[in-house]
Amino acid sequence: MAQRSGGSQISSVKHPVVQLARRLSRPAERAEHDRFLIEGPNSVQAALDAGVDVDTLLSTGAAARRHAGLLAAAASAGTRVLQVTDQVMASIAPTVTPQGVVAIAPGVTRPLERLPAGASFVCVLDGVADPGNLGTVLRAADAAGADALVTTAGSVHADSPKAVRAAAGSLFHLPVFDAVPWPVARDACRAAGLRLVGADAHAGVGLDAAGLDGPVALVLGSETHGLSSAAKADCDQLVSLPVYGRAESLNLAAAAAILLYEVARRHRDKGAGA
Amino acid sequence: MAQRSGGSQISSVKHPVVQLARRLSRPAERAEHDRFLIEGPNSVQAALDAGVDVDTLLSTGAAARRHAGLLAAAASAGTRVLQVTDQVMASIAPTVTPQGVVAIAPGVTRPLERLPAGASFVCVLDGVADPGNLGTVLRAADAAGADALVTTAGSVHADSPKAVRAAAGSLFHLPVFDAVPWPVARDACRAAGLRLVGADAHAGVGLDAAGLDGPVALVLGSETHGLSSAAKADCDQLVSLPVYGRAESLNLAAAAAILLYEVARRHRDKGAGA
């Protein structure tokens, strides 16, 4: 039974909704329940704006007053809106600052069968380990106008709380295909007529000579190990970013942003793509 | 007195060197001692490679075996090499994974009087709050071949542990001028003949029309508030990155990487600069 105080505030961490929210920090529980957590008012607003059928919105009393418009929008979209104590909120999101607002929503990532019809610009993340990097790349892919993001099996999940936060709403803006075995990702890109261009610091081909003008899947590897050997072998071209100074390389999110925007520029200049 | 066990291992958190290392997590203590912390073997190696006169290297026993070459290089460069217990190491860097290696070095950031002679490409960070972002931008500025990085007063410090880590050695590759009042930064850029180009999501001028071909100072604002009104008023031009998809914007490090590489491309193509 939920202990309540201050009207209808949930004050027990044993309340079933609170227990579910806490469980969703774990990938296996997200998969089992087909639900994930959206933290913070901006991300929840982005989900509602994108038409995500948010189940439940939990907020503290202070956040409910600060974000009254968001709560009203959620309620009128059919979302169950519940207030929780600060302690309960802290138990759901102990390591972050969700600004007093957390939502539970049905999963938006999906396994890959085929890419969306007409896709001409796809970003593939092969074995990315850091959820913040994944979210930042997803946000940059969205800004650059990519048609989809694919992550390979072994990558961190795009619906993990840190990735959702770093994506700043972009998880709801383009299709994200999660935990896709590399051969499936490769074949889907080829079936869609995309050229597989992999980023590899050791490649001899620089950005200018890269074949990015036509339909393309940009493949980026892990922060520490780069592309898997399978991905490297299957790519139609490997390209490297030039380094003009003394840095050995760029970090993944920075390199991804530069490459994604280079594709966007080429597609715009050359009129290629969908 | 230091308590010792296992030969010459420091096992007391009260050892003066350990106490100093712990203090250096605070900006005021870094300023007072003119010292900062370098965490992890890669960053320490980068500091030694760049000729930084590292005072002290602390390592756990396991790390000393794993990074024997680094310890030998440090010792032969005149660095005092000390072993500490795992508990002492954890007390120095409790929230991160320094891989058992931490060094104390004299400060490398400095106040700004004038920019290096011949500087034609400078990055100015105006009010940046996140040390990870600062370090990532510094790394990208290094890779793009920038001549210096300037942070304005009120920004997080480039020698904070998270920034040092994210910079991945770039803190030792180009001059970093820290906590510079905006008018001083502005005047130094103008005195060096640099055009002040600010990034502003609301600017009407896009990337293609931006005046980046000649000597330029690229000015980037805070993650949440963008450029300060003073910087906005003083810039010779404000430019925005195009957004092709549904994202509202890019995160700071991604936007910075794209802009820095655009400057690098223009300077290379047009043969402008120093």
Residue carrying the six token digits 């949930």: A10
Taking only the tens place, the pLDDT of each residue in B228-240 is 999 999 999 999 9
The parts of chain B modelled with pLDDT lower than 70 are 1-7, 94-98, 271-274
**Sheet arrangement for strand A237-239:** A176-180, A148-152, A121-125, A216-220, A195-199, A237-239
Q: Which amino acid is at B210?
A: A
Q: Name the minimum distance, in Å, from the CA of B53 to any CA of chain A.
A: 19
pLDDT of residue B269: 84
Q: Is the dihedral of CA B9, B15, B17, B21 positive or negative?
A: positive
pLDDT by residue, tens only, chain A of 274 residues: 333 344 579 999 999 999 999 999 999 999 999 999 999 999 999 999 999 999 999 999 999 999 999 999 999 999 999 999 999 999 997 666 668 999 999 999 999 999 999 999 999 999 999 999 999 999 999 999 999 999 999 999 999 999 999 999 999 999 999 999 999 999 999 999 999 999 999 999 988 889 999 999 999 999 889 999 999 999 999 999 999 999 989 999 999 999 999 999 999 887 644 4
Neighboring chain A residues of B174 at a CB cutoff of 8 Å: 245-246
Report the residue of B220, B261, B266, B267 to disrupt the A interface, i.e. the one with the largest count of A CBs within 10 Å.
Answer: B261
On the 0-12 / 13-18 / 19+ scale of CB atoms within 10 A, A76 is exposed
pLDDT of residue A271: 67
Contact A247 B168 (CB under 8 A): yes
pLDDT of residue B46: 96
pLDDT of residue B198: 97
Question: pTM of the full predicted structure?
Answer: 0.92
Task: Answer whether A164's CB lies under 8 Å from A30's CB.
Answer: no
pLDDT of residue A6: 41
Contact B168 A244 (CB under 8 A): no
Minimal Cβ distance to A251: which of B139, B146, B261? B139
Which residues are A205's β-sheet partners? A239
Nearest CA in chain A to B268: A244
Distance, first Cα to last Cα, chain A: 55
Q: Name the minimum distance, in Å, from the CA of A172 to any CA of chain B.
A: 9
Contact B142 A251 (CB under 8 A): no
CA dihedral B146→B148→B154→B159, nearest 10 degrees, is 100
pLDDT of residue A5: 40
Q: Which domains does chain B have, with CATH numbers?
A: 4-106 (3.30.1330.30), 121-270 (3.40.1280.10)
Q: What is the DSSP letter of A187?
A: H
Q: Is A244 within 8 Å of chain B by CB? A: yes
Q: The tokens of A47 are what?
A: 């989900």
Q: What is the DSSP letter of B175?
A: -
pLDDT of residue B173: 97
What residues contact B138, with CB distance under 8 A and at least 6 apart?
B149, B158, B163, B166, B167, B170, B171, B174, B176
Minimal Cβ distance to B258: which of A145, A169, A261? A261
CB atoms within 10 A of CB B7: 7
Helices (H), B34-169: 41-49, 61-66, 68-76, 86-92, 131-143, 161-167
Considering only CA atoms, which of B260, B142, B176 is closest in space to residue B212?
B260
Q: The tokens of A169 are what?
A: 């709403």
Contact B139 A250 (CB under 8 A): yes
ipTM score assigned to the predicted complex = 0.90
Neighboring chain A residues of B166 at a CB cutoff of 8 Å: 251
Q: Is B87 within 8 Å of chain A by CB? A: no
Element of type H or E holding A47? helix A41-49
pLDDT of residue B98: 64
CA atoms within 13 A on the CB side of A210: 31
Q: Dihedrals φ, ψ of A10, to 5°?
A: -80, 125
Report the residue of B95, B133, B244 to disrupt the A interface, i.e. the one with the largest count of A CBs within 10 Å.
Answer: B244
Contact B258 A253 (CB under 8 A): no
Which residues are A152's β-sheet partners? A180
CA distance B70 to B47: 11
Taking only the tens place, the pLDDT of each residue in B135-175 is 999 999 999 999 999 999 999 999 999 999 999 999 999 99
Q: Is A139 within 8 Å of chain B by CB? A: yes
Task: Answer whether B58's CB lies under 8 Å from B21's CB.
Answer: yes
Q: Is A136 within 8 Å of chain B by CB? A: yes
